[in-house]
Structure 1
Amino acid sequence: MWVCSAPLSRFAAGLLCGIPRPLIHIRSASVAETGTTRAYEDQNCEVEGYLAFSRARIGPFFQERPVLKNPFLEDGLLRGYLSRHLPQEAVTSDLCAFGERMANEVDGWGRECEVTPPRLVHFDAWGHRVDHIVTSQAWKQMKYISAREGLVAIGYERPFGEWSRVYQMSKLYLFSPSSGLYTCPLAMTDGAAKVIQSLGVSWPGEEAYGRLTSRQPEHFWTSGQWMTERRGGSDVASGTETLAVPQVDGSYKLHGFKWFTSATDADMTLTLARVQNRAGATTPGSRGLSLFYAEVSRDQEGRLKGIEVQKLKDKLGTRQMPTAELLLDGLQAHRLSEEGRGVASIANMLTITRIHNSVSAVAAMRRVVQLAGDYASRRTAFGKLLRDHPLHMQTLARMEVETRGAFLLLMDVCRLLGREETGIASQLETHLLRLLTPVVKLYTGKQAVAVVSEGLESFGGQGYIEDTGLPGLLRDAQVLSIWEGTTNVLSLDVLRCVARSSGMVLEAFFSHTKSLLSAASNVPSLTPAVKAANGALSELGMFVQLAAGRDASYMELASRDLAYSLARIYTGALLIDHASWKGASPSDTYAAIRWCEQNLCPVATNQASGWYDTDTASLDTALVYDKHSQAQ
């Protein structure tokens, strides 16, 4: 029998420090537990006193956990931006109180939504088909707080005129990372309200509009957006097979299969379908699509009317939110758009939902940076706090610069939206909004994945452990570059925007960006950033001139890099502009300089390298499908 002869303090210290202590062979003995001294006996040793980890399920120490503090008070850029543009005390007071509620209450609900995901009950105990989607109590609480806090209503009440969208999106920005993905149904609800408003608030959408924009929880509705069918993707013109059969009362019965429906527990939905004429024929392509509104309801026996839920989707992330495959089998609906004008009617909805998508992306970035910063002030490694390791802080600073740039780009688009909705936008601002909406969505979606991934790495192994709640941030971020149009789809949308405006959107971009940079040209500390941004803007102008007249395939290959260049240059100008105002901090200047040190115009760089030349497409295809082997 081996027994440790060293005192507890020496042995424990040696064990924890990796220094072995001498063991002395003595006779076997049984020692009774006396006072505070406990004797342990196992197969190999007896120890008087406490032996660290002996027969213990867990060790006597834990890592410090990051603490979520009031996200409004922790966000100096948000408070600085509002102080500059929307300094009303009512806004600051409301957002501060809302942030406190996020930290102390709502974030816990969001975690409950994650660990208690929705489930589908096809049949009741007596074999009747009911198709109930059962969600957690926390998910239901999210609907309640969304109504009470006016998370949709603010955009339509417009309490601060042209700045009301900035106020609304700032509130959603605080809510999103704690919401358990409830911001997704809110995005579709806002989009549905926008569509009804743009078409004219009248029957049959009048009641729905009132409910979608209500602050009364018992009256508030959320909306789904059931567009994706079996062929999937953004090509709704060729992918929509759902039929709308006219009824004698002026309504329609919808018959089709919706392959992907988000927030399937919504109270209503908007969807596209093809109107069948008396001969049973439909019009192909986008000209045959009309927009319909349908309520989700049940009969007296609890069965869904005109809907069968086939299955819930098993997704990488966004598990908190029910996403389902639906069979529409005679769902009663009302046509909102003119017949054949369905695609045109959802343009306003896409603007809103893409901005909401960007809010979620930037909010995810901000949340992981806040948590990583707090953790760095608690976690000790190699003898000192993480915040005292320069390389670690350099990494967090790079994440912070990305987050700041994304935030200002997002808020400027919200500002432009507010001006358009209140009827005071200039033509230049209208063009900018059209151009920047797909740009902000595609760019922040990619930024979110990169920043959140880097953020998880800053927690070491704990960032990979589900119990911490951190992996969910990355899983949920991945969808942000997919929903409402993938990066490539939106890059092509930028090209269409340029073509349809005969280049006016680019003229607006150059004009406004130059004015932002010119206003900051007399600030000495910003000179390097202004010089870099002006240089990139000139490179972009040269690309546009050289690309004029090139064929469609050339511009398609360049479209993604063009969108990235627009995002980086404009974001740089916004960071410079924010750093030049009288209330700016030294950190604002530092962030602007750091942002402008990257390649702001990749489309010019890659053009010079021949990335968009005629033979590039065939070479890319050959590279991807190359099966050649040297061994063969």
Structure 2
Amino acid sequence: MRVEEGFQQVPLHEGNAYSQDPVLPSLLRRLIPPKFFDEEIESDLDRLGADVITIIRAQSKGNRISAPKLVQYNNWGRRIDELQTSEGWRSLKATAQREGIPGIFYERKYNEHSRTFGFAKALLMVGDSHEVFCPLSMTDGAARVIELMGTEGMRREIFPKLISRDPSSAFVAGQWMTEASLPSPLLGPHRPGGSDVSQTESKAQSMGDRDQLGPKFSLDGFKWFSSATDGDIALALARTRSIDNGSKGLSLFLVPLRSPLMGNQPGSSTSNGIRVHRLKDKIGTHALPTAELSLEQTTAYLVGSCNEGVKNIVPVLNITRVWSAIASIGGLRRCLAIATAYADVRRIDRGKRLLRDVPLHVAQLASINLIYRALTHFVFGVVVLLGRVECGVASVEEQNRLRMFTPIVKAFAAEKAVASMEEAMAALGGQGYMEETDIGRLIRDGLVERIWEGTSTVLSLDLLRSTTNPARLKEFFSWSNSIILSCPSGLLKGVQEAIQSLQGRLESLLAAFLHPIPPLIARPSLMFMGYMISALYLLEHAIWSHSRGEEGYGVDAEVFRRWVNDGSFVAVEQELDTTRAEAKFAEASNSAIVFGRQSHAKL
């Protein structure tokens, strides 16, 4: 029998990425004023939704997209460090720039809602973008830093290129915050950089000169993990005081990857003393060039005040953490779209029933859908705060919420999204395990979000730092109660039990943050707050939907109810209570379990 004969599976069709999305159309209608949404934004997103499954997907398929290559020497034996990226990678990057990423954010045509619009575009594209938004997120962060504290020359010459919609002249920026260090004379070849930036050994020496971009410095160091190696500039931390000063001796620099940076004829890959030693062999993000490189008398320009580098690079870190959350839910969006479309065409029981008519299968899809809805509402709640802060219209309370929510949303979205992607893979059976569906790549790419810009442990500790001021927690509880108390009586009848549970969990959260806070409370607190904040945003949307009489208000209420009653939410509350009660015992027993050092554990 020929393969063309007999049983043939019907190919799935995902449909318009925007109009078929279960969350975005309704959510954006609530978040963006009609004068922007109805007149311009919705039609543009609908157009992009069609382009995603046609034009953009075609750029990301087959031999158009492949891993980058590094050519270190030419045929004459000269060091050239030429980085070659695939046609698909370059075209995806150009498409994103033409769509206004990151331009929309800084044109601010839609005022504080520009962030919401731009990130909605990115969310639709992520699943087919092969992590091209990694360098573009750092470009976004670099633009914000230069806008806030760049020299006049940087704002005039560099900033317009970072936000340009013209791929032929637009700049891409990297972020070299960590692991830029030299071999230590005390530790030999070991490089003590890593996530602990206070140990960074890259050195900056003033050249006693300046040009149109500002004061010039010479940098020497090593970068162990460099994304956006095919970019035009990078923001880097380097030491301007002794290593004994820790992070207080670091300054922030703008580093051109080639020299001259400006002009019609950019320099060669090695023209600014940057040598690429090898490309990283990663589990995922295969199209993204990530490298180890050294800086050897590299010309750089001081950004902001000297010895305040960690403070000055914070805007990049906060922006890229929000981007990381967008990447997590964007990958999940695509996996859910595939699994839902498959249920519309896959027949079982001798062809008598579609999967969409099998209650058990639909229940599996509903559980994935529930997580996608909760994460998307949480992420865009943070995006709204970011837009308001950047446009100077945020209250002090909103600024504090953004500070608190940013590490939570990044860690929570990364943690929940990949597990749900795996569920979407299983919903396709054997087809889900095939590379052609793209789910495998999306899972591999999604895993990096649990590490990039801070693991859940690092972000949990950052959450604790953001809550050291008791007033911030008080503001959070006030915000939470304001949403709960705004629930109208008509909606309250159907969700009263869930709201009572939510109020009880707020009390558990308050108890968890009583000082002194045990170290082990950090991670369960972050996860618990992730569930809590998501629930509050879901309730806020259900209230809006009910008050307006939206067609889907019943579904919005049910999503909120189910999320509050979700078994994982209940489980993390129990973990929080147990950790708080047994913190001292748990620390000792954990060491005994991991290292077998019974003598140090008072069991």
Kindly indicate whether residue 424 of structure 2 is the aligned counterpart of residue 459 of structure 1. no
233, 236, 261: which one aligns with 1:268: 233
199, 209, 232: which one aligns with 2:149: 199
Cα distance per residue 1:403-431 (max 9 Å; x no partner): 00000001110111111111111111111
For 1:539 and 1:601, how far apart are their aligned partners in 2?
Answer: 12
For residue 144 of structure 1, what is the amino acid of its counterpart? A
TM-score where L is the length of structure 1: 0.85
- 1:603 positional shift: 6.2
- Judged with a 3 Å threshold, the aligned counterparts in structure 2 of structure 1 residues 96 and 608 are, in CA distance, closer, same or farther, namely closer
Kindly indicate whether residue 220 of structure 2 is the aligned counterpart of residue 252 of structure 1. no
For residue 111 of structure 1, what is the amino acid of its counterpart? K
For 2:97 and 2:298, how far apart are their aligned partners in 1?
Answer: 27
| 8 A contact 1:120–1:133 mirrored in 2 | yes
| Structure 1 unpaired stretches of 5+ | 1-51
For residue 503 of structure 1, what is the amino acid of its counterpart? P
Match of 2:601 in 1: none
SS of residue in 2 equivalent to 1:346 = helix
Aligned residues: 561
- Judged with a 3 Å threshold, the aligned counterparts in structure 2 of structure 1 residues 274 and 537 are, in CA distance, closer, same or farther, namely same
- 1:282 positional shift: 5.4
Match of 2:158 in 1: 208
Match of 2:328 in 1: 361
For 2:397 and 2:63, how far apart are their aligned partners in 1?
Answer: 43
229, 247, 267: which one aligns with 1:286: 247
For residue 441 of structure 1, what is the amino acid of its counterpart? K
For 1:232 and 1:462, how far apart are their aligned partners in 2?
Answer: 43
For residue 320 of structure 1, what is the amino acid of its counterpart? A
Cα distance per residue 1:255-305 (max 9 Å; x no partner): 1110000121011100000126xxxx5553001110000111168666443
TM-score where L is the length of structure 2: 0.89
Cα distance per residue 1:486-537 (max 9 Å; x no partner): 00100000001111xx122211211111111111152122223222212211
SS of residue in 2 equivalent to 1:514 = helix
SS of residue in 2 equivalent to 1:319 = coil
SS of residue in 2 equivalent to 1:234 = coil
Alignment of 1:440-451 (within 5 A): 440-451=409-420
SS of residue in 2 equivalent to 1:309 = strand
Match of 1:20 in 2: none
For 2:172 and 2:31, how far apart are their aligned partners in 1?
Answer: 31
SS of residue in 1 equivalent to 2:122 = helix
- Judged with a 3 Å threshold, the aligned counterparts in structure 2 of structure 1 residues 374 and 263 are, in CA distance, closer, same or farther, namely same
- Judged with a 3 Å threshold, the aligned counterparts in structure 2 of structure 1 residues 116 and 256 are, in CA distance, closer, same or farther, namely same
Match of 2:565 in 1: 597
Match of 2:592 in 1: 622
Q: Once structures 1 and 2 are overlaid, which stretch shifts more, 592-601 or 454-463?
A: 592-601
Q: What RMSD in Å do the two structures reach over aligned CA positions?
A: 2.1
- Judged with a 3 Å threshold, the aligned counterparts in structure 2 of structure 1 residues 254 and 200 are, in CA distance, closer, same or farther, namely closer
- Judged with a 3 Å threshold, the aligned counterparts in structure 2 of structure 1 residues 338 and 211 are, in CA distance, closer, same or farther, namely same
For 1:463 and 1:361, how far apart are their aligned partners in 2?
Answer: 19
80, 91, 104: which one aligns with 1:130: 80
520, 536, 539: which one aligns with 2:487: 520
- Judged with a 3 Å threshold, the aligned counterparts in structure 2 of structure 1 residues 320 and 300 are, in CA distance, closer, same or farther, namely closer
- 1:196 positional shift: 1.1
Match of 1:3 in 2: none
Alignment of 1:432-581 (within 5 A): 432-499=401-468, 502-522=469-489, 523=491, 524-544=493-513, 547-548=514-515, 550=516, 554=518, 556-581=519-544
SS of residue in 1 equivalent to 2:231 = coil
| 8 A contact 1:431–1:504 mirrored in 2 | no
- 1:104 positional shift: 0.6
| 8 A contact 2:512–2:521 mirrored in 1 | no
Match of 1:68 in 2: 14
389, 392, 400: which one aligns with 1:420: 389
For 2:398 and 2:208, how far apart are their aligned partners in 1?
Answer: 45
- Judged with a 3 Å threshold, the aligned counterparts in structure 2 of structure 1 residues 168 and 272 are, in CA distance, closer, same or farther, namely same
- Judged with a 3 Å threshold, the aligned counterparts in structure 2 of structure 1 residues 90 and 331 are, in CA distance, closer, same or farther, namely same
- 1:60 positional shift: 4.6
For 1:528 and 1:255, how far apart are their aligned partners in 2?
Answer: 61
Match of 2:184 in 1: none
- Judged with a 3 Å threshold, the aligned counterparts in structure 2 of structure 1 residues 505 and 206 are, in CA distance, closer, same or farther, namely farther
For residue 506 of structure 2, what is the amino acid of its counterpart? L
- Judged with a 3 Å threshold, the aligned counterparts in structure 2 of structure 1 residues 163 and 595 are, in CA distance, closer, same or farther, namely same
- Judged with a 3 Å threshold, the aligned counterparts in structure 2 of structure 1 residues 518 and 207 are, in CA distance, closer, same or farther, namely same
For 1:127 and 1:561, how far apart are their aligned partners in 2?
Answer: 55
For 1:509 and 1:282, how far apart are their aligned partners in 2?
Answer: 38
| 8 A contact 1:273–1:292 mirrored in 2 | yes
Kindly indicate whether residue 332 of structure 2 is the aligned counterpart of residue 371 of structure 1. no
- Judged with a 3 Å threshold, the aligned counterparts in structure 2 of structure 1 residues 624 and 521 are, in CA distance, closer, same or farther, namely farther
90, 111, 127: which one aligns with 1:177: 127
For residue 401 of structure 1, what is the amino acid of its counterpart? L
- Judged with a 3 Å threshold, the aligned counterparts in structure 2 of structure 1 residues 521 and 142 are, in CA distance, closer, same or farther, namely same
| 8 A contact 1:562–1:602 mirrored in 2 | no
For 2:532 and 2:243, how far apart are their aligned partners in 1?
Answer: 46
Cα distance per residue 1:105-124 (max 9 Å; x no partner): 11122235885111111122
Match of 1:26 in 2: none
- Please identify the structure whose Cα radius of gyration is greater: 1
SS of residue in 1 equivalent to 2:225 = strand
| 8 A contact 1:113–1:320 mirrored in 2 | no
For 1:59 and 1:256, how far apart are their aligned partners in 2?
Answer: 62
Q: Once structures 1 and 2 are overlaid, which stretch shifts more, 446-455 or 584-593?
A: 584-593
Q: Once structures 1 and 2 are overlaid, which stretch shifts more, 414-423 or 606-615?
A: 606-615
For residue 593 of structure 2, what is the amino acid of its counterpart? L
For residue 513 of structure 1, what is the amino acid of its counterpart? S
Kindly indicate whether residue 196 of structure 2 is the aligned counterpart of residue 235 of structure 1. yes
Q: Which has the higher contact order (CA 8 A, sep 6+)?
A: 2
| Structure 2 unpaired stretches of 5+ | 180-190, 210-214, 260-265, 599-603
Match of 1:348 in 2: 315
- Judged with a 3 Å threshold, the aligned counterparts in structure 2 of structure 1 residues 402 and 201 are, in CA distance, closer, same or farther, namely farther
Kindly indicate whether residue 117 of structure 2 is the aligned counterpart of residue 167 of structure 1. yes
SS of residue in 2 equivalent to 1:244 = strand
